[in-house]
Structure 1
């Protein structure tokens, strides 16, 4: 893609939390693309859709491949999310435009065979701004073990006229998770809601 200046793959593997090793390591991966903001310098652009349709699918395909190549397969991705940070010359709407569209999300969702929506953040900031990628279980939004956040920063991005677009994936839940899930809370409160992931 001619708009992309560079891509970054951020990988963390967590073996222990709270001085106790988890049952299995948690690998979290963020694939980021730093690209020129296509709307900067054009004044207030009313219709963002032409660029969304052109850029978002290409970004998603590229970032999805980076995630899956690192993790090994779409099936191995248990939790996922997305993020975008727009530089200071852009609008928050520019960050939102490229990730809050099915032209972006459905490519990744299909590749990992997911049912859930992608957890997200969209923010504005300078170079080296914190990038937070929230994640949750790809098939069960109430599975708290997979409520995760991957944080990193890019020292030279976003420039004022750039956007950082990120996909995140994780291979497990938090080590030593032990706070239950939404369904047990709902049952305790008198609302017995069936876990959608358990429905066959």
Structure 2
């Protein structure tokens, strides 16, 4: 992996106030991003991506996870997610290949005691594009308060023959969440449907 890895960057953001109101508890998000040479660059269409996935994904997952938990220990993490961006000479499949394997994701999930899937973005862009890392609660997938996004930028990445990978974590949800959870919506909609289906009771 050493010959592919160009650099690692970390981004830390803490929100103290939102909508003109102070946060009851400040919320911190951490992103760890790695820039690697695209191992399939210059080879034309490669049918079997698996050998490079097996070589790179576990090592990158371990390295990036270690960096993240150094900044935010696993017990603090409430929400998480991931992203992969391939440079303009690569396929989106190349970006997806590294992060969409349990050999990458399970290392992160295990380190923060998560059970939910890791939400993601995977796309193709040029250097300096804003990259979004979507997150959800690490164990309660319907908890909309933790539907959040970390955004960052690397001015020189990804180059045309590179892949930029990122994992993100947060120690809270949005600062002032005020919308219902998914399961509350489901209960209300079921109740509404039952009420609409019930026969009218005549007045006596």
- TM-score band (shorter)? over 0.9
Partner of 2:127: 127
Deviations 1:38-61 (A, max 9, x none): 001011000000110110111111
**Structure 1, gaps ≥5 residues long:** 192-200
Deviations 1:163-194 (A, max 9, x none): 00000000001111110200110000117xxx
Deviation at 1:2, TM superposition (A): 2.3
> What is the number of equivalent residue pairs in this alignment?
190
Partner of 2:35: 34
Following the alignment from structure 1 to structure 2, what is the Cα–Cα distance between the partners of residues 65 and 154?
Answer: 21
- The 5 Å alignment of 1:132-143 reads 132-143=132-143
Structure 1 consecutive aligned stretches of length 4 or more whose deviation exceeds 6 Å: none
Following the alignment from structure 1 to structure 2, what is the Cα–Cα distance between the partners of residues 50 and 113?
Answer: 29
Deviation at 1:10, TM superposition (A): 0.7
Pair 1:175-2:157 in alignment: no
Partner of 1:65: 66
User: Aligned to 2:57, what secondary structure does the other structure show?
Assistant: helix
User: Aligned to 1:75, what secondary structure does the other structure show?
Assistant: helix
Deviations 1:110-130 (A, max 9, x none): 111111000100010000012
Partner of 2:57: 56
Deviation at 1:4, TM superposition (A): 0.7
User: Aligned to 1:189, what secondary structure does the other structure show?
Assistant: helix
Partner of 1:101: 101
Following the alignment from structure 1 to structure 2, what is the Cα–Cα distance between the partners of residues 76 and 133?
Answer: 18
**Cα RMSD (Å) of the superposition?**
0.8
Pair 1:83-2:87 in alignment: no
Partner of 1:10: 11
Following the alignment from structure 1 to structure 2, what is the Cα–Cα distance between the partners of residues 177 and 15?
Answer: 14
Output the TM-score relative to the length of structure 1: 0.93
Deviations 1:74-110 (A, max 9, x none): 1111000000110000000000000111011000001
User: Aligned to 1:190, what secondary structure does the other structure show?
Assistant: helix
